[in-house]
């Protein structure tokens, strides 16, 4: 049986993820002549910022969801990823550039996994708060 998913929570988490992740992604593109940023000292900082965005979005999507918080976190991050990556894929296709499909699949798994971690943290804090109030 599929869990009941709150669309509003997922969209709120996805929207926050997009708001947090797009600026470093744009900065990365602007700093790079070929979108690779190969050898740039900014790569680890921007990567951590983007990954943190997926974690925060997953946390926000899951924090008020006692049922299936991990699914909410994972889906919020994945929805954000699909929206942003979809724009990137279209940009590459229009420009006649190659699309690295394997990298996209890997990044989607990373995004949803990180959103799940955000859901785990939110669920842990929610349960800990419930124990504190009960005890």
| Domain assignments of the chain as residue spans, ordered by start | 7-134
Burial 49-70 (b: 16+ CB within 10 A, else e): bbbbbbbbbbbbbbbebeebbb
Q: Considering only residues 42 and 70, tell me which one the structure prediction assigns the higher pLDDT.
A: 70
Task: State the pLDDT at residue 31.
Answer: 78
Rounded distance, CA 115 to CA 85, Å? 16
pLDDT tens by residue, 86-95: 999 999 899 9
What digits encode the pLDDT tens for the residues 32-63? Answer: 766 566 667 788 899 999 999 999 999 999 99
Count the helix, strand and coil residues of the chain and give each as a percent rounded to the nearest 5: 80, 0, 20
Note if the pTM is more than 0.85.
yes
pLDDT-based confidence at residue 129 (cuts at 50, 70, 90): confident
Cβ-based neighbour number of residue 105 at 10 Å? 10
- Which residue reads 């991990």 in tokens? 70
């Amino acid at each position: 049986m599929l869990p009941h998913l709150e669309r509003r929570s997922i969209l709120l988490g996805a929207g926050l993820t997009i708001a947090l992740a797009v600026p470093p992604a744009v900065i990365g593109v602007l700093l790079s002549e070929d979108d690779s940023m190969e050898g740039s000292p900014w790569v680890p900082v921007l990567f951590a910022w983007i990954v943190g965005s997926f974690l925060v979005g997953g946390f926000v999507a899951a924090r008020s969801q006692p049922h299936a918080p991990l699914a909410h976190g994972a889906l919020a991050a994945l929805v954000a990823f699909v929206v942003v990556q979809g724009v990137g894929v279209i940009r590459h296709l229009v420009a006649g550039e190659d699309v690295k499909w394997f990298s996209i699949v890997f990044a989607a798994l990373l995004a949803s996994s990180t959103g799940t971690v955000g859901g785990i943290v939110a669920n842990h804090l929610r349960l800990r708060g419930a124990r504190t109030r009960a005890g």
